[in-house]
Amino acid sequence: MKSLLTLLAFSSLLLQSCTQDDNSTEEEVTPTISIRGQIVYGAGDCMPAIDEAGRKYNMYTGEVYFIRKQALDQLGNGSFEQLKQASLHYPVKAGKFRAAPPADTYVVVLAEQVANQHVVTVTATQPVVQDFKFWKCLSY
């Protein structure tokens, strides 16, 4: 009986040592989403130009990159691909993305080479809801 009480006391101490005295809330642990939206992607001929209304887009799945506009403007003869790889990037699944880049102005591009880029300004005070359309030219 004494060994059973000892075992129960030891188990109780072990369980108490495994709990954390973490007073933080989930909100503090989870990064703030500063931009969210939907991304659609299409591919087709660019010459002759296809009317925007005639283009077919699908929900994009892949990576979206947020390149600081100032860094891109100062790139000069540097490597765009290296700048892109060093930039913030976030997953996109079935067209939906959520990102938490710091407040700044960004050029938004996809992992795939596309004909267009978008510029968006993220602020520290107001979350941005922004949708993007990307078109990949298969012929020029």
Dump pLDDT digits (tens) for 12-60: 443 344 444 444 444 444 457 789 999 999 988 877 776 777 889 999 9
What pLDDT sits at residue 51?
A: 75
In degrees and rounded to multiples of 5, residue 63 shows phi and psi of: -115, 140
- 2.60.120.370, 3.20.20.70, 2.60.40.1120, 3.40.1350.10: CATH of 24-139: 2.60.40.1120
Whole-angstrom distance, CA of residue 140 vs CA of residue 137: 7
Tell me what percent of the residues of the chain surpass a pLDDT of 90: 52
